[in-house]
Amino acid sequence: MRPITVDPPAFFNRGPSPLARLAFFGILSLALLFADTRYRYLENVRQTVAIALYPLQRALEMPGAAFAYVSGYFGANRRMADENATLRQELVARAPATQGYVREQGENARLRALLDVRTQYAPTAIAVQVLYAGRDPFTQKVFVDKGTSAGVQAGAGVIDENGVVGQVTRVFPYMSEVTLLTDRDQAVPVQVERSGARSVLFGNGTGRSPELRFTSPSADLRVGDRLVTSGLDGTYPPGLAVARIVDVERDSGQMFARIFCKPLAGIDHSEFLLVLSQSSALPARPEEPGDADALKKGGRARGRRG
């Protein structure tokens, strides 16, 4: 017989009190949070559960996709003809650049061989489609429809037809998570196209412009300059468009100038993206003098780079 719900007597309580349970689970949650952010022990667990949830997620996304397909089917004919014409014109306009590119590549290879410079590794690309945007209001992420089964690697750069979009941060078997360059934890090494000055573009979060941090006020940067990837660090191939400078604040009292940029790629609304493989096999980073001294002293924690 079920006990009465209103005011049960004490000897009908089962197990530890709710407060004891809360204390236990609270401590367990904090331990999990620590383990996850610090040591990433739980990535395997997350992968397993993500595989289990993947069919549910695709099933949930199907009604939206079906609705978009049906509504697009009925209005599409005239719009597709117009879009077709525009794309053909654009293709013709880009023909000189495309044809010149192959010639330039050959010439570049010959010149590099003459200078005995190591040949550049040609990146391969995987075309992906954006499934949906990330749900967390604190990070800027999108999810794309290819994962390890198609050869996507974590850390690969992602671009669309106008420029760099971000980086692959997590791969699942059939899906990947791409962090956009406007996310607070993202940084892209860039170079000003006009002057060759190198800097790093840091994301600033939702709704704020990414900025070039730690640039000296005397650097050769102007409003309207185009920023391209510099190719350092081996993540993005060099020469891809990233952003355009929109605001430069040079305050004589500050140590660094504040430079705000607008990304050139359609960060929020691109649908088709390209995942690039790692651009070059860089040699190992050489030991710094501080590391060598610390090793001699017997491996103190100060010499360890994270």
Partner 1 sequence: MCKGRVVRVLPHVGSFGPASPEEILRPARPWFVLLSLLIGLLANLAPVSGVAMTWRPDFLALVLLYWCIQEPRYVGVGTAWVVGLLMDVGDATVFGQHALAYAVLAYGAEYFRRRVLRFPLWQQAVQVAALLVLCALIVLLVRFVGGAPPPGWRYLASPLVGALLWPLVSVLLQTPQRPSRSGSRR
The binding site for partner 1 (CB under 8 A) comprises 1-2, 4-6, 14, 18-19, 21-22, 25-26, 28-33, 35-37, 42, 45-46, 49-50, 53, 56-57, 60-61, 64, 131-139, 141, 170, 177, 184, 205-206
Nearer to partner 1, 73 or 138 (CB): 138
Q: Torsion angle of alpha carbons 185, 191, 197, 202, nearest 10°?
A: -10
Q: Taking a C-beta distance cutoff of 8 angstroms, is the pair 42, 36 a contact?
A: yes
Strands 272-276 and 226-229: unpaired
Q: Cβ 69 to partner 1, closest distance in Å?
A: 16
Nearer to partner 1, 1 or 10 (CB): 1
Nearer to partner 1, 103 or 135 (CB): 135
Alpha carbon distance 181, 169 (integer Å): 11
**Residue 65, Cα to own-chain centre: how many angstroms?**
24
Q: Cβ 159 to partner 1, closest distance in Å?
A: 21
Alpha carbon distance 291, 297 (integer Å): 10
Nearer to partner 1, 54 or 121 (CB): 54
Q: Cβ 7 to partner 1, closest distance in Å?
A: 8
Q: Cβ 6 to partner 1, closest distance in Å?
A: 6
Alpha carbon distance 288, 304 (integer Å): 11
Nearer to partner 1, 35 or 87 (CB): 35
Nearer to partner 1, 111 or 133 (CB): 133
Nearer to partner 1, 8 or 106 (CB): 8
Alpha carbon distance 196, 137 (integer Å): 36
Residue 258's closest CA among 270, 250, 267? 250
Q: Cβ 57 to partner 1, closest distance in Å?
A: 6
Nearer to partner 1, 21 or 94 (CB): 21
Alpha carbon distance 273, 131 (integer Å): 11
**Residue 160, Cα to own-chain centre: how many angstroms?**
12
Q: Cβ 264 to partner 1, closest distance in Å?
A: 22
Q: Cβ 54 to partner 1, closest distance in Å?
A: 10
Q: Cβ 127 to partner 1, closest distance in Å?
A: 21
